[in-house]
Structure 1
Amino acid sequence: MDKLKSMAAFVCIAEQGSLTAASQVLGASLPTVVRTLAALEADLGVRLFNRSTRRIALTNEGLCYLDSCRHVLATLEEAESALREDTGELAGQLTITAPVLFGQMHVAPSLNRFVRQHHKVRCSLVLADRQVNLLEEGIDLGVRIGRLNDSSLVAHQVGQVRRMVVAAPAYLSAQGEPAHPKDLLQANCIDFSGAGHSWWAFQNNGRMFTLPVAGNLEFNHVAPALGACLDGLGFGMFLSYQVAPHVAQGRLTTVLADYELPPRPVSVIYPHAKLLPARTRAFIEWIKTDLASEGCFTSATPIPAAPAILPCRCG
């Protein structure tokens, strides 16, 4: 039995969630994958999966072994990547996740530019407005917006964005520009929480406070809420990257800047800090520089010289 191939097959089964899907990814027949798993379990003397006709799930022993296998395979890949790095050629699979709108606007174009220079790297971008678990879903790195809490993942800050209130010039001409956040209580505020009401957060002299704003429009996604704001239908609170092109073009105006909360960091997060393949390290350096050059962050964005381990609860 080829132990490394068996371990790779086991990891693939765990990440794909089924023997059939794993066989397709591995390019092997289903019976071959079944035999490989059975041989590995027999060699270890433990059952790695609980299997039924409809589903497959890791046992406790399988969960523990999965982490060990990933560590061993990552170490091997790191060694091979170091050799390839000496040739100046990057190769292999790179899977990235990012928030939907930020990913569409900035990460995807940056990834395209990266692949144009490193055409042997196979890239997959997963856009999701949820906390994706990198290890469970087999993702190499993620781009996250916001403070990161309580995890062993490594977070490398690449920029920062502001949460800001904006309105169309026509709406401001009719409504008047607010001098204080409480003036929004008398205005139409566009909600994209989908909850029927919103509490917008501000600060004054370092103390945060919230206001229950309301309006006659609510959406469950930022894009239509931004569209309504552009149409002059009310005030909206958005992240700076979401409105930056419209502010630059004069289609939206920023208000209440003195009451904004501190900027939120934008970070690249990834597991296995000491076991990064060359392509992953290269992409981290690439996106750090590329995003900054695109102007999608607030001014005076600090760009760390090296990764820092930050507490992080996101996946």
Structure 2
Amino acid sequence: MDKLKAMATFVQIAEAGSLSAAARASGASLPAVVRTLAALEAELGVRLFNRTTRRIALTGEGRHYLESCRNLLAALGEAESALRDEAGDPSGLLTVTAPVLFGQMYVAPAVTAFVQRHAGMRCRLLLLDRVTNLLEEGIDVGVRIGHLEDSTLIAHPVGRVRRMVVASPDYLARQGIPAHPRDLLQANCVGFSAGGGPWWRFEEKGRSFTVPVTGNLEFNHVAPAVDACLAGLGFGMFISYQVAPHLAAGRLCVVLEAFETPPRPISVVYPHARLQPARVRVFVAWVREALEAALAGRHDETAAEGSPCPSR
């Protein structure tokens, strides 16, 4: 007996509501459908349908088996579809999202290179500084910074970032290097509404605490806040990738490292599913490799070696 064919016949009978209707739908003869069902029931050792001369109805065992058969046949169909996709270059539309600045710096180059490599692909990159609902907004893949609360997503960590306090060497030469976060109470701090507002979070001996900073500048976007710090107007708190080039060039210096909160993960995420289209699987592998290479050792270390920062 062909078990898969018998399972498909069983599902057809259950969905059609009768043996004769299942025979018409499958193009098989009624005797052949009857023989297949009988052989399946004999193989399983249970009755799947209660049959009379006028009607047919699933038994309790039949209802449970029907769900299993549907799942197995659906998985088989998806697997065959995936193999057909793999036989050629991935194609179709792919929608990706990432935070604005991180996306500009790291995700956009990876997306561009992916489209160059796979001519049949069309990619739409949405750079948004908010958490998106991938399923509701029709997004295939996202890049997230921070710990995930959505258990319906599959996440692949690709690196880590720190939230750090920085200032220009000139400002530090005038103001002095703070020894403790409470020293910021006497300093000018550049506000960034998306970066925690006037309450900057720190950690000391495993205990988290906040400091209510103040200053004469506040922005709702990271770029002008970084520019203000570069101009020597005060301290700023940013995620490490947002200031990485300035740290490497010595234009900004990290302070209060001993009081930083634990690093946060960067993850490539996508909705949970038994099988993903080839374009999603291929892109996830591509962007993971690209981000891991770009982020390796860059943001969970100081990234300011050799910078001319004043010493205490």
User: How many angstroms does 1:277 deviate by?
Assistant: 1.5
Contact 2:178 2:255 in 1 (8 A): yes
Contact 1:146 1:264 in 2 (8 A): yes
Alignment partner, residue 252 of structure 1: 252
More RCO (CA 8 Å, sep 6+): 1
Alignment partner, residue 214 of structure 1: 214
SS at match of 1:84: helix
Alignment partner, residue 135 of structure 2: 135
Identity level (%): 59
Which residues of structure 1 form unaligned runs of 5+?
A: 1-71, 302-315
Aligned-partner Cα distance in 2 for 1:230–1:125: 30
Aligned-partner Cα distance in 1 for 2:249–2:76: 49
Report how many residues are paired.
229
Aligned-partner Cα distance in 1 for 2:125–2:195: 29
Q: For the structure 1 residues 194 and 103, does the alpha-carbon distance in structure 2 shift closer, same or farther, using more than 3 Å as the test?
A: closer
User: How many angstroms does 1:121 deviate by?
Assistant: 1.2
SS at match of 1:159: strand
User: How many angstroms does 1:295 deviate by?
Assistant: 3.2
> Deviation digits for residues 127-184 of structure 1, max 9, x if unmatched?
1111211111111011111111143122221111100111111111111111111111
Instruction: Establish whether residue 167 from structure 1 lines up as the match of residue 167 from structure 2.
Output: yes
**Which letter maps to 1:120?**
G
Alignment partner, residue 62 of structure 1: none
Aligned-partner Cα distance in 1 for 2:297–2:283: 18
Q: Which has the larger radius of gyration?
A: 2
> Deviation digits for residues 12-70 of structure 1, max 9, x if unmatched?
xxxxxxxxxxxxxxxxxxxxxxxxxxxxxxxxxxxxxxxxxxxxxxxxxxxxxxxxxxx
Q: For the structure 1 residues 99 and 195, does the alpha-carbon distance in structure 2 shift closer, same or farther, using more than 3 Å as the test?
A: closer
SS at match of 1:274: coil
Contact 1:219 1:225 in 2 (8 A): yes
Alignment partner, residue 144 of structure 1: 144
Alignment partner, residue 85 of structure 1: 86
SS at match of 2:192: coil
Which residues of structure 2 form unaligned runs of 5+?
A: 1-72, 302-312
Alignment partner, residue 179 of structure 1: 179
> Deviation digits for residues 199-220 of structure 1, max 9, x if unmatched?
1011111111110011000001
**Which letter maps to 1:283?**
F
List structure 1 segments (4+ residues) > 6 angstroms apart after TM superposition: 72-78
Aligned-partner Cα distance in 1 for 2:175–2:237: 17
Aligned-partner Cα distance in 2 for 1:96–1:78: 24
Aligned-partner Cα distance in 1 for 2:228–2:77: 52
